[in-house]
Structure 1
Amino acid sequence: MSVVTRGGHLSCADCGKSFKATWGQGPHLCHEPDNTEPEDKPICLDTGVQCPECGKKVRTPQSLEDHMRTHTGDRPFVCKDCGRRFVERSGWRQHMKIHTGEKPYKCQVCEKAFLRSHHLKCHLTTHSAKKEYSCSECGKEFGFKSSLDLHLRTHSSEKPYHCNVCGKSFNTQRNLRVHTKLHTNEKAHQCGDCGLKIGDLGALKIHLRTHTGERPYHCTVCGSRFIRLAHLRNHQRTHTGERPYKCTECDKSFTQSGDLVKHKRIHSGEKPFECPECHRRYTSSGDLGKHRRSHTNLRPYTCQECGKSFRLSGHLKTHMLTHTGEKPYSCPNCLRRFARSHHLSGHVAKCR
């Protein structure tokens, strides 16, 4: 697979790429040591084997076979402890370490141990002040180019991973994997309060906070509390004034990438989310979800004080003010305070 060129460099016989030493060529070529079949000889990553479904290139026919399962949904490797299924044997092996408690990757600086090698690599960047890769849009720095590439999708709204069942798109492969479980009902975790099925246990834990009222992330500036860390980070931009997501059509900017995606549909007129009951269409899945509750009368948000239930989390939040006595809306003229924003609006119109 390689030839020696002038100066002692190694050159890939498939694509001509050259390397200073064999260790440089190693990641470029791949082989299966336990498989001596001719079709599993080392294959050049740049020429590679191409997936007929999505065009992705992988190194070996075996890798292509593993990759094809992401399209077919086949998960032949099963965990005997919890029943979770996996596309690849390597993913199954990594998962089994969760049950055994094994953490083989140890930091030589602080001795913290990790389940996966890439978790250790990410951790090591915390010991180094220098982060080599910087986002040209917002200036955020990353220790790995792959992390930067993933982050850049939040600015471009790129969602390259598509569900073959419903066509919904995602910015990471993990989010697609979690989503596909909803179609297969594969070990979907169900909320005991509202019956919602969620494919990821971590996502279920976050969802349960909408019922319990738990908000573990708080803003150090104004004290507001949030269910998700991402929500806190978005909120903090209201204090800093940062709006990194800009519309190329009208120059309007947003604090969240999702708001930019929804805003762009105003220009395009796109309403991709349709209600199966009445066929009314919406620009966002969130708006469709809120609307669908009008057909089911589902009220998943329950007040822990009095037991009253609501269709929307915002309605529960407003209702909670009746228990706390908090009046967050203040009249700029007479300083009278109100629990609801529309009460303030009505008052301000009369208070001159």
Structure 2
Amino acid sequence: MDSVAFSQLGSLCESNEGHQCGETWSQTANLPVHKSYPTEAQPSECTKCGKASENQQRCHTRQRLCKECGQACSCLSCQSPPMKTQTVEKPCNGQDSGRASATYVKSLSSKKSYECKKCGKAFACPSSFRGHVNSHHEQKTHACKVCGKTFMYYSYLTRHLRTHTGEKPYECKECGKAFSCPSYFREHVRTHTGEKPYECKHCGKSFSCYSSFRDHVRTHTGEKPCQCKHCGKAFTCYSSLREHGRTHSGEKPYECKECGKAFRYPSSLRAHVRMHTGEKPYVCKQCGKAFGCPTYFRRHVKTHSGVKPYECKECGKAYSFSSSLRIHVRTHTGEKPFECKHCGKAFSCHSSLREHVRTHSGEKPYECNQCGKAFSHAQYFQKHVRSHSGVKPYECPECGKAYSCSSSLRVHVRTHTGERPYECKQCGKTFRYLASLQAHVRTHAGA
């Protein structure tokens, strides 16, 4: 047998007893996984085609040419589902050609017969068992020359390399959006077709993406298999663990092309970029106010409900959010946990510290598209933008007077309520405005 034929033949399985089971493998990495199957999972002869396989269903879900599109796919050619699973066949539509399987399998038994000999973890599904062994116990031999990351299979390395080259060979025919990974492409296509093949048996919610389905199911089961090695905190999905890990490493891989500012999360970068573009895709249906950040949008929507469950025990003031109450309580306790490394000045909330640091660095990340003026604070930038548009969205409920920023409205409302929140620590005199208190304090200093 020549070398080419030998490489194509791959590895022939030989059991512990020295007998061969007849299965051959094109990748040697698959052989030890196959040999670690329990006895009942070893290959048996298919009654339809006579070929040896772990089960008859797997035998008939190998790569075939699709009759409709002519490409390789995995449509079932016979109905021989195993006793423990129920298979719902989904026909090939051309979009899913080349994927491992177009079937959605629901487990009908909780029995887990596939047990890992190295760590003892058990699985009901042979493919999950194989994936576990490959991911956790097999040697990773393919290394990326750019960053050094290693992979078990060359196909995984090839996919990873696209993160460095920027190559995106999978393009959507509907909208033109391109992807580096076929699985991401398939998931995207479902946003056009509306297909959601993964349904939660606990609550009936459906998903277009299997990973989203899997992570959702864990919210019912309480399973958190992804644990942080640094602090022990556990998560339902690996992506959450990866993002959490950056709080320990300080890594900020997402950088703004406009100003160079880096972020820990892609969502933070997207929200930041909108500060440059002025885009505000999140619009409140009740008042029409628009937001560039989904977090701020959700917070705003709650203000319409009027519900303020978080009340200060000191003064009785109520808030819609626990974070707002926490910051407010510090005005009573005097706690200022966020300290500037440059000058030692301390602040009660992190956002105030972040903006203060810019007075040292000179950073002004918020630039007006109209006149080019730059700002170090988001609120000053937003206020300035309204000076061009003339928009005054903040209206006083008492007299109807409108303002371009919420802080101006808040100060104005005090003329109606009589509130004087700024108190002199030396004499106890109170003031409506912070500037008035600061001017008053100077009279004590000069005395």
Q: TM-score, normalised by structure 2?
A: 0.50
* Identity among equivalent pairs (%): 38
Please give the alpha-carbon distance, in whole angstroms, between the structure 2 residues aligned to 1:216 and 1:257: 22
The total of aligned residue pairs comes to 277
Match of 1:271 among 392, 397, 407: 392
Gaps of 5+ in 1: 31-42, 50-57, 68-89, 326-337, 340-352
Deviation of 1:246 (Å) = 1.0
Kindly indicate whether the alpha-carbon contact (under 8 Å) linking 1:272 and 1:283 is maintained by their aligned counterparts in 2: yes
The equivalent residue for 1:113 is 233
SS at match of 2:257: coil
Matches within 5 A, 1:190-209: 190-192=311-313, 195-209=316-330
Kindly indicate whether the alpha-carbon contact (under 8 Å) linking 1:15 and 1:47 is maintained by their aligned counterparts in 2: no
Q: 1:7 to 1:153 in 2, by over 3 A?
A: same
Please give the alpha-carbon distance, in whole angstroms, between the structure 1 residues aligned to 2:193 and 2:425: 57
Matches within 5 A, 1:217-236: 217-236=338-357
The equivalent residue for 1:237 is 358
SS at match of 2:380: helix
Q: 1:215 to 1:13 in 2, by over 3 A?
A: farther
AA in 2 matched with 1:120: L
Q: 1:296 to 1:142 in 2, by over 3 A?
A: closer
Kindly indicate whether the alpha-carbon contact (under 8 Å) linking 1:245 and 1:254 is maintained by their aligned counterparts in 2: yes
Q: TM-score, normalised by structure 1?
A: 0.62
Could you say what the CA RMSD is over the residues aligned between the two structures, in angstroms? 4.4
Kindly indicate whether the alpha-carbon contact (under 8 Å) linking 2:95 and 2:186 is maintained by their aligned counterparts in 1: no
Q: 1:191 to 1:126 in 2, by over 3 A?
A: closer
Check if 1:246 corresponds to 2:367.
yes
Higher mean C-alpha displacement, 213-222 vs 19-28: 19-28
Deviation of 1:296 (Å) = 0.8
Q: 1:142 to 1:236 in 2, by over 3 A?
A: closer
Please give the alpha-carbon distance, in whole angstroms, between the structure 2 residues aligned to 1:120 and 1:105: 6
SS at match of 1:47: helix
Q: 1:232 to 1:170 in 2, by over 3 A?
A: same
Q: 1:153 to 1:311 in 2, by over 3 A?
A: same
Match of 1:297 among 415, 418, 437: 418
Q: 1:259 to 1:107 in 2, by over 3 A?
A: same
Higher relative contact order (CA 8 A, sep 6+): 1
Higher mean C-alpha displacement, 13-22 vs 228-237: 13-22
AA in 1 matched with 2:285: N
Kindly indicate whether the alpha-carbon contact (under 8 Å) linking 1:219 and 1:236 is maintained by their aligned counterparts in 2: yes
The equivalent residue for 2:430 is 309
Alignment deviations for residues 102-139 of structure 1 (CA, whole Å, 9 cap, x no partner): 9653124x353145544422123467787553210121
The equivalent residue for 2:273 is 152
Please give the alpha-carbon distance, in whole angstroms, between the structure 2 residues aligned to 1:320 and 1:209: 21
Kindly indicate whether the alpha-carbon contact (under 8 Å) linking 2:73 and 2:96 is maintained by their aligned counterparts in 1: no
Kindly indicate whether the alpha-carbon contact (under 8 Å) linking 2:395 and 2:401 is maintained by their aligned counterparts in 1: yes
Please give the alpha-carbon distance, in whole angstroms, between the structure 2 residues aligned to 1:209 and 1:121: 32
Matches within 5 A, 1:18-29: none
SS at match of 1:46: helix
SS at match of 1:154: helix
Alignment deviations for residues 240-296 of structure 1 (CA, whole Å, 9 cap, x no partner): 111111112211111122222211121222222221222222111111111011111
Match of 2:382 among 245, 261, 284: 261
Kindly indicate whether the alpha-carbon contact (under 8 Å) linking 2:199 and 2:205 is maintained by their aligned counterparts in 1: yes
Matches within 5 A, 1:175-190: 175-186=296-307, 188-190=309-311
Deviation of 1:312 (Å) = 3.4
Check if 1:45 corresponds to 2:190.
yes
